[in-house]
Structure 1
Amino acid sequence: MIKKFIRYLILGLGLYALIATLVITFYKDDPQAMIWQDREAFNERYIKKLSIDESVTLNTVLDYLGSPDLTYAKRNKDQVWQIIFYRTQHKTSDGITTMDECTGLLFKNGELFLWGPSAYSTFQENTR
């Protein structure tokens, strides 16, 4: 009787570990389905991992983070500048996402150029 119980217990734990591993490995997070607190943390983690050494495109960011909270784009001669904002810090519970609650990612011709607090001022300087 005890051997049977232990066998079922080990089988159950093994099955649980297998299912948990499969979910962790193959389940892609969907930022659109997250509650706002989780999405903020998800956005912030992704943006903190960005590196200037690797080539990051606008489409790569959109595929991973989903639709931005705010976006602006302008053409200046033969260059296209686009800045997208993702909310990364909560300030006011008013139901409106503002720039001071977001981190900006600046793209020049579809390639990540700059991100962080100076991204918007650089966008404005280059699109006058």
Structure 2
Amino acid sequence: MREQKNRIVPVILGLLGAYLLFVIITITLWDGAERTPDQLDWDDRQQHNVATIATLQMGMEQAQVLSLLGSPDFNEAFTASDGVQMQILRYRTHRLKGDGMTTEDETTPLLFRDGVLAAWGKTALAQLEP
């Protein structure tokens, strides 16, 4: 009977050690996994948007901006009278009311002309006025 207990203890300790190793690896990989902007909660996303917009450069391709910022909160597009394709992507950068909704006045607009970043902020919208 005693011999059976002596054999069971190493098996139990081995299983416990394997389980702990599994948990440590899972937690390490889970915490270390990089999240996309679309996977961030609203507060982290807003901070990400502010920091990323500050690094944008005129002339960046729209696809590159989308890869950095993720899906916009608002998206508008039209063709200008001269045939240029215009698109305005708006990203939330400053919360005004804690009402659970994002409104356009809480966003920073990015203006693209034919898929190239041309302006952002209030300047972007001023370019559209006649």
TM-score scaled by length of structure 2: 0.69
Given the alignment of the two structures, is residue 29 of structure 1 paired with residue 12 of structure 2, yes or no? Answer: no
Q: Distance in 2 between matches of 1:124 and 1:71?
A: 18
Q: Does 1:97 align with 2:94?
A: no
Mapped pair 1:69 → 2:78 = no
Equivalent in 108, 111, 115 of residue 113 of structure 2: 108
List aligned pairs for 1:32-71, cutoff 5 A: 32-52=38-58, 55-71=59-75
Return the alpha-carbon distance in structure 2 between the equivalents of residues 45 and 109 of structure 1.
Answer: 25
Is structure 2 residue 124 aligned with structure 1 residue 122? no
Task: Flag the structure with larger Rg.
Answer: 2
CA contact (8 A) 1:83 1:123 kept: no
Three-state SS of the structure 1 residue aligned to 2:57 is coil
Gaps of 5+ in 2: 1-27
Give me the whole-angstrom Cα distance separating, in 2, the residues matched to 1:58 and 1:89.
22
Match of 1:80 in 2: 85
Specify the SS of the correspondent of 1:94.
coil
Q: Deviations over 1:21-80 (max 9, x none)?
A: xx4xxx54311111100000001100001123xx31111111221110011111023200
Contact 1:44/1:88 (<8 A) preserved: yes
The RMSD of aligned alpha carbons is 2.1
Letter in 1 for 2:79: R
**Which one-letter code corresponds to 2:78 in the other structure?**
K
**How many residues get paired?**
102
Report the 3-state secondary structure (helix = DSSP H, G, I; strand = E; otherwise coil) of the residue aligned with 2:122.
Answer: coil
Q: How many angstroms does 1:97 deviate by?
A: 1.1
